[in-house]
Chain A
């Protein structure tokens, strides 16, 4: 079935009818709980054929082949592969259909969580789905259903689009709070999946039809694609496992959804051919209601849809340009530093983050992938992917979870030809820079003309109008004073004549001038008045973020000043001057460490650095204070959270030291390097991370390999960084074996290092048994081991 045939099916029928449950029916015929339903495709082909036929007789126009769990992960225990069970499943369905109905390859979730919560990488998930898509090439179309993780759904949809030409229907499973179990919002699902090229989107399973009504209502607001509803027959009874909504009730509820604009209907758990029959009967009385909602310009992560309906701050700090500390972090693979920049900006008020990790001498593509994954694991702000390299953009768009912005395309032919198809393929929004082969035009009218050109070219490749944002380009006021007005006029025209959203990098305006903040702030206000939607700026400057909040208040966007008051109503949150500590009561840095006073600790360190060498601060103040905290912890006078608070102060102090060293291009303070990893199969890494914080604050460099780490990676890192100590952590008895394997592999490779092991279930005896050199019962003990090795 081609996309054209699918469109024909939609056009020729008021409503399209899918089938009902497969598992419920197989159980009714005698399948036992715990059996793998897909094996019945081979063992009892006549059963599935009969089920399909009964659905088609009841009115189903599309039936799902019995392949929901046919991934290699779910089939693993059976010894069968997707290639074994999928083709017979489709053949059975086609025999039943005899041309009366279309047969869909049914793709369900893998059953294991993707990173960052689980172990499965996006790339592995793609691969698993690809195998199913290829095995199912004889199907007429593909359905992806019962998904709770948007990233997993994206992997499946990409696998379907890239390995077949069949139409793809995408359904996720939502709860009453209109979110999936993993927290994905309806708006984010609709925006992302439509962008990636699904042919219809919607919801299945989870709840009964009445509970799903509000979810479907929300879906219809966020897409112009045909919307699908395939609910359960209610919720199962805990004692009997049975569902209680009757076919007639089910059909009545479906009719209500039809009035919302739903086009495609079916049933999930607990439904049978009677439900489909009732559905067909009821829907035959109704007409399809075309969905004509206006879809707003918006970008998203799974949990967070940001509608561009007023000025929204794009944080600019994740960018090495002009930042020595950031460059240093990129060169040393210090993702944690990049994450700290993400956290700081989101706390300061950024609503989106620009991500630029381009630096000569590093693998930008690899760094971009890792940075996006890491940032998305700790914040839900949508990202603006900022690179000039199409390969980097492609890789980034692939792994991004949600709908991002691409920064940027411009009016040059080469740029239009390479960037726009990527934006279209991955369903992103794009920033168009108003420059071309001749550079940046002087006048607003010329820039407007380039904006028009970018828009028309974007529309040509199928990018929707609301996904094109225009950057009219800020020039430096000190060099080209007359250019400021041109920029502002261009913004005004693009916003009001083309109706597009606008972007501007704000800070450039003041380059070379004294008191830059004053100029930036005023320019920002002028730009917003002229129609700027997305200022790219430093949100950590309170006056700049304050200017955006004040603008929203004055324009009546921030109704009743709620947002403004919540930020400034309480004195503590107002941009206050730094407190001057009374000399008599003042703490020293050591005291701040012991008391867990982070910002004071950082401030004192910065002051001390003016007069004291960095190494002296580390050796004479920070480490003795940490030692004291450690001793208090060991003697029970201090508890774990307090010890870590102290370490956190030392961490803030170290950050000041690193900043200073980066500015002076000096050598970093490193007492020795330690490789840390939570072993293969274990995703509980908080213990390892506690150890890391402590080690770093004693001046050790930590190569953190993360969680679920393959033994070979530990060996490779130990060799690459030539370390004398490797720390391994495991939380559960089930993963202790992986710890033993890792140590064995280190020994087998004759890696010249010691090992220290720890974790909740570990004992000194077991540590010895698996050949570990040291057992550490807590984070403090690990530091003691490091001291023994490195001094």
Chain B
């Protein structure tokens, strides 16, 4: 039985960063709304995750081969350099969060926007806790950062197989719609590498992101965290 992940408070700084309001502390009507949204969100959040640790069978410039799935692209090959295993994971804060955001859109659009950003922060917190659990479970191993379909040249189309290998619909309630988007919306799927020896920290940041030319964060002079 995997360890439970819980979320007891939301990283508001992170959420305001998603609203392109980095460093802003809400006041007045917005402070009241943020308070209410956080409370209602926490009541709806129900983190679920699942993962598989799979041996890397082979890799070259075209991608990485694991049992039951090929991860195409150069970026994933670079990420997994020096690794013998890949960890596939997916996590969600659950369907009730989608329902809450939908409901908020009928109540008050501002609440919906704030809740949406708080929920994005919440799923990120779940993923960070997953990283910690993984490191605790394998104390002698080293891990790369998490890399998701859609990052770099790892195509979104790999989602189908990735979630299939994870048996995500049965074990985490995560499905894909016909465009390959995950539902519930506040879900993450990712791959990270596992190695017996220390790994060089890979390049991250805007310069390496394919979104850099049209990024709403960059336009406002802030960063998403990639």
The residues of A with any CB-CB pair to B shorter than 8 Å are 32-34, 109, 111-113, 116-119, 146, 148, 173, 175, 177, 180-183, 205-206, 235-236, 238-239, 241, 269, 303, 336, 339-340, 342-343, 377-380, 595-598, 636, 639-642, 644-645, 647-648, 651, 681-684, 686, 689-690, 693, 731-735, 760-763, 777-778
Contacts and interface: CB of A to CB of B under 8 A. Distances in A.
Across the A-B interface, the 8 shortest Cβ-Cβ residue pairs: A181-B173, A33-B68, A596-B29, A639-B21, A681-B179, A645-B110, A644-B110, A763-B214
A235 B4 CA distance: 14
A241 B175 contact: no
Contact of B106 (A111, A118, A378, A762): A378
A241 B21 contact: no
Contacts of B200: none
Contacts of A733: 150, 156
Contact of B165 (A33, A118, A641): A33
B169 interface: yes
Nearest to B114: A641
A645 B113 CA distance: 10
A71 to B, nearest CB: 13
21 contacts: A33-B164, A34-B161, A34-B164, A34-B165, A116-B102, A117-B184, A118-B183, A173-B170, A180-B173, A182-B95, A183-B96, A641-B19, A641-B26, A647-B110, A651-B109, A683-B185, A686-B113, A731-B181, A733-B150, A734-B181, A762-B214
Contacts of B172: 181
A644 B46 CA distance: 28
Contact of A595 (B28, B102, B110, B216): B28
Contact of A639 (B19, B107, B150): B19
A598 B214 contact: no
Given A595-B29, A686-B105, A760 B52 contact: no
B14 to A, nearest CB: 15
Contacts of B94: 181, 183
A89 B12 CA distance: 54
Contacts of A648: 108-110
Interface string B206-226: 000001011010011000000
B43 interface: no
A206 B172 CA distance: 10
Contacts of A118: 175, 177, 183
B95 A183 contact: yes
A648 B112 CA distance: 11
Contacts of A777: 216, 219
B30 A645 contact: yes
B20 A689 contact: no
Contacts of B150: 733
Interface of B: 1-2, 16, 19-21, 24, 26, 28-30, 33, 46, 48, 50-53, 67-69, 94-96, 98-99, 101-103, 105-110, 112-114, 116-117, 150, 156, 161, 164-165, 167, 169-173, 175-181, 183-185, 211, 213-214, 216, 219-220
Given A33-B68, A734-B181, A109 B169 contact: yes
B173 A148 contact: yes
Contacts of A241: 52
Contact of B178 (A235, A269, A651, A681): A681
Contacts of B173: 148, 180-182
A117 B183 contact: yes
The interface residues of chain A, by DSSP majority, are classed as loop
A640 B178 contact: no
A684 B21 contact: no
B39 to A, nearest CB: 14
A640 B110 CA distance: 8
Nearest to B68: A33
A690 B179 contact: no
A647 B30 contact: no
A116 B101 CA distance: 12
B109 A644 contact: yes
Given A182-B173, A238-B50, A598-B108, A641 B113 contact: yes
Contacts of A182: 95, 173
Nearest to B44: A183
Given A173-B170, A205-B170, A641-B113, A340 B181 contact: no
A109 B171 CA distance: 14
Contact of A690 (B28, B46, B107, B109): B109
Given A598-B108, A681-B179, 12 more contacts: A112-B175, A112-B178, A117-B183, A118-B175, A238-B50, A343-B103, A378-B102, A595-B28, A640-B20, A641-B110, A645-B33, A648-B109
B101 A686 contact: yes
Contacts of B177: 112-113, 118-119, 681, 683
A168 to B, nearest CB: 22
B29 A645 contact: yes
A677 to B, nearest CB: 15
B109 to A, nearest CB: 5
Contacts of B170: 146, 173, 205-206, 269
A383 B69 CA distance: 46
A345 B190 CA distance: 42
Contacts of B114: 641
Given A113-B183, A636-B220, A647-B109, A641 B68 contact: no
Contacts of B164: 33-34
A117 to B, nearest CB: 5
Nearest to B94: A181
Contacts of A343: 103, 106-107
A732 B150 CA distance: 10
B46 A177 contact: yes
A236 B171 contact: yes
Residue with the highest number of chain B CB atoms closer than 10 Å, among A597, A644, A651? A644
A735 to B, nearest CB: 5
Contacts of B112: 686, 689
Contacts of B101: 686
Contacts of B181: 682-684, 731-732, 734
Contact of B103 (A378, A689, A735): A378
A180 B185 CA distance: 17
A781 to B, nearest CB: 12
Contacts of A380: 99
Given A181-B95, A238-B51, A683-B181, A760 B216 contact: yes
B16 to A, nearest CB: 8
Contacts of A640: 19-21, 113
